[in-house]
A and B are shown apart, each in its own frame.
Chain A
């Protein structure tokens, strides 16, 4: 159930970033959040890089959820 809750909340937050519902987040999407969150474009870019595990420039819901799980204290397997 915890996993469900995590997925649900992560999806909700993911949608805040992915306003066009593309199914992924780009750095451009992140930087647009600068108007809504108290973070600088540089900080948003750093956040993006730390979440984008494979470094392909696209942040998927899976990567986002994993990062969010870590934030909430759900250790990842590896």
Chain B
């Protein structure tokens, strides 16, 4: 399976998402 191979990408994905979160504060309707 390819799960192990994807773990590096998941780290990148987590960084990407965290950067989006730090740029845009959580929604405040």
Interface SS of chain A: helix, strand, loop or mixed?
Answer: helix
Distance in angstroms from A64 CB to nearest chain B CB is 10
Number of contact residues on B: which range applies? 10 to 19
Docked complex Cα distance between A11 and B18 (Å): 18
- Asked, given contacts A42-B26, A50-B20, A71-B19, whether A13 binds B13 with beta carbons under 8 Å apart, the answer is yes
Q: Are A47 and B10 in contact (CB under 8 A)?
A: no
List the 5 shortest-distance A-B pairs measured between CB atoms, nearest first: A47-B17, A50-B24, A37-B14, A71-B16, A13-B13
B residues neighboring A (CB under 8 Å): 6, 9-10, 12-21, 23-24, 26-27
A residues neighboring B (CB under 8 Å): 9, 12-13, 16-17, 33, 36-39, 42-44, 46-47, 49-51, 67-68, 71
